[in-house]
Structure 1
Amino acid sequence: MKQRALGQDLRTSALGLGCMGMSDFYGPADDAQSTATIHRALDLGITFLDTSDAYGPFTNERLVGKAVAGRRDEVVIATKFGIERLPDGTRLGSNGRPDYLRKACDASLERLGVDHIDLYYQHRVDPDVPIEETWGALKELVEAGKVLHLGVSEAAPATVRRAHAVHPISAGQYEYSLFTRDIESELLRTLRELGIGLVPYSPLGRGFLTGAAGDLTAGDVRHTHPRWQGENFAANQALAGKIGEIAAGIGATPAQVALAWVLAQGDDVVPIPGTRRVDRLEENAAALEVTLGAAEFAALESLAAQVSGGRYNAQQMGTVNI
């Protein structure tokens, strides 16, 4: 497996594995299937695993921890704090208070069954707590050896700069795909100016770019997203079909083309497509061998400009770019 460097000498496999959907948001969980997928990822050399205390909540960290038990030295574990939830799933909002994050870190360490977290993200910025206070406490966690690297997720460029001034940031996790390119202006420039790697989540457009967007279960959270509703859904399905035609022309799948496009955006980019299935994992891994030519890039650029609907609803958009 190829390796890539994020910021602050953090090296990971060139492709990671997003574990959220194994436990939450995307339909019923199947821990046995998900564990098999994680094990297969490690066997393939995909050793960058992404989780959060908010996924489940709490259950995804336990799943990941059990799956990598005995293979800890092989993996880079990334988890997050900052989206506060109760055990029953109730959302309490963003929380960046130092006392909260210290307890959250200890709880994550226990659930994961590890003595340190390789990459610890602030999942969402708390607008009511100065970022310097949050990052001062995170710096203390690094100094205590509980965390090796720090990351931000969906933080605005100015916030990234303020946090980075307190303690260097290794990675920024943002939604980024052919269907979501908001970061390509000021945010991406800021990350690169500061030497911060990019970890795109949902690089497959939350499933649209796999060609399987019509397979959602009734409780899937994507039903609440504008892109998956009404005329937007039909228009985006048509775009995905055209991406499928491009993929067929080079002997690849739509997912592989979508991932190859993201991977081609720079050697400091490590996407984390999520899946709970071994066959999808293997398909995604093969994207590292897909090369897009000038004609494919031009066609994809044209299609990407035609996406219909926002990535989140209005309430969810209120938690990003803070």
Structure 2
Amino acid sequence: METSSVKKTFLLGGDLEINRMGYGAMRITGPQIWGMPENPQNSIEVLQRAVELGVNFIDTADQYGPFVSEQLIAEALHPYKNNVIVGTKGGLVRFGPWADINNDASPQHLQDALDGSLRRLKLEQIALYQLHRIDPKVPAEITFDFLAKAQQQGKIKHLGLSEVSVEDIKLAQQHFEVVSVQNRYSVFDRQWESVLEYCKAQNIAFIPWFPIGGGMTQLEEKLKDMAERKHVTMHQLALAWLLHHADNILLIPGTSSIAHLEENIKAANIQLSEAEMQELNG
């Protein structure tokens, strides 16, 4: 049975070698992604264990907490060793655990957001800074111009986008090199397949958030049956499918549990045959 080969790493921006199984640090904060977690030491231990297991890409955002996730990452991992890359995002604002999330991609806000992230992460330059959302209240060109200037000033090494269309990416590419795109995507939810294909053609990293989300009953049954045959969880199989589906996909499953983290990391070793991929692709 022929097994499709899976690349273990991706060269982000042409110069940062990233292990494709990363870690998303949204869930290390308090409930509803607000405030400090009940046990901050547990979050620190999860981050440290992720790096021990070979993770060298941590994804976060200033809005997680807000600010808490970045603070805990620095406390757990600074000074950053083992080629650990922290990618963060700016451009969203929240005012409470149940409050609506508001766009703010104005240069004034992004200046404060970027400087705050640098300070909290204890960095002089952020390796990957992603615009969390394009702000409908601000012309995209103004936002992109600000990000390009911040990159020229040396505060940012590489730039990425989140929740964007192919047209959005092409517009941004007129202002700076786009090295990553972070859109909602999973084996169940392939709305952004065209964006994934464009990113693959352009050698842009595609970072799916909610990588096991969605849920189509017929496909869920297939996933469940295959997971049982392979003696893995459905969650692990959904992650393995992403790694096999396109070699520019970087995974950032998040958890506040060391046991769950270790389970996620094992998904990188699951082998899927061409026939099994076709079964799930159907």
TM range (shorter): 0.7 to 0.9
| Partners of 1:6 and 1:269 within 8 A in 2 | no
Q: Say whether residues 1:10 and 2:19 are aligned partners.
A: no
Tell me how large the CA RMSD over aligned residues is: 2.4
TM-score (norm: length of structure 2): 0.88
Which residue pairs with 1:19 in the alignment?
Answer: 25
Identity %: 34
- AA at the equivalent of 1:280: H
| Partners of 2:19 and 2:57 within 8 A in 1 | yes
| Partners of 2:70 and 2:120 within 8 A in 1 | yes
CA shift digits 1:239-289 (9 cap, x unpaired): 646523211212322222111100012221111111111111111111121
Q: Say whether residues 1:188 and 2:196 are aligned partners.
A: yes
The alignment partner of 1:21 has SS state of coil
| Partners of 2:59 and 2:86 within 8 A in 1 | yes
Q: Say whether residues 1:31 and 2:37 are aligned partners.
A: no
- AA at the equivalent of 2:162: S
Gaps of 5+ in 1: 206-226, 303-322
Q: How many residues align?
A: 273
CA distance in 2, matches of 1:71, 1:194: 29
Report deviation, 1:57. 1.3
CA distance in 1, matches of 2:172, 2:223: 38
Which residue pairs with 1:54 in the alignment?
Answer: 63
1:38-77 equivalent positions in 2, closer than 5 A: 38-72=47-81, 74-77=83-86
CA distance in 2, matches of 1:259, 1:49: 17
1:170-181 equivalent positions in 2, closer than 5 A: 170-181=179-190
TM-score (norm: length of structure 1): 0.78
Select 2:252's aligned residue among 248, 261, 272: 272
CA distance in 1, matches of 2:267, 2:96: 37
Shift in alpha-carbon separation, 1:14–1:138, aligned structure 2, 3 A? same
Select 1:202's aligned residue among 196, 210, 232: 210
The alignment partner of 1:36 has SS state of helix
- More helix by proportion, 1 or 2? 1
1:1-322 equivalent positions in 2, closer than 5 A: 2-23=8-29, 24-25=31-32, 29-72=38-81, 74-86=83-95, 90-91=99-100, 93-185=102-194, 187-205=195-213, 236=217, 240=220, 242-302=222-282
CA distance in 2, matches of 1:202, 1:181: 12
Runs of 4+ in 1 over 6 A off after TM superposition: none
CA shift digits 1:201-253 (9 cap, x unpaired): 22122xxxxxxxxxxxxxxxxxxxxx6xxxx8xx75x8646523211212322
CA shift digits 1:106-164 (9 cap, x unpaired): 01111112222111010011012122211111111111211111010001211111111
- AA at the equivalent of 2:207: V
| Partners of 1:42 and 1:74 within 8 A in 2 | no
| Partners of 1:175 and 1:202 within 8 A in 2 | yes
CA distance in 1, matches of 2:234, 2:184: 18
- AA at the equivalent of 1:192: K
Segment drifting more, 89-98 vs 37-46: 89-98
Report deviation, 1:37. 1.0
Gaps of 5+ in 2: 1-6
The alignment partner of 2:208 has SS state of strand
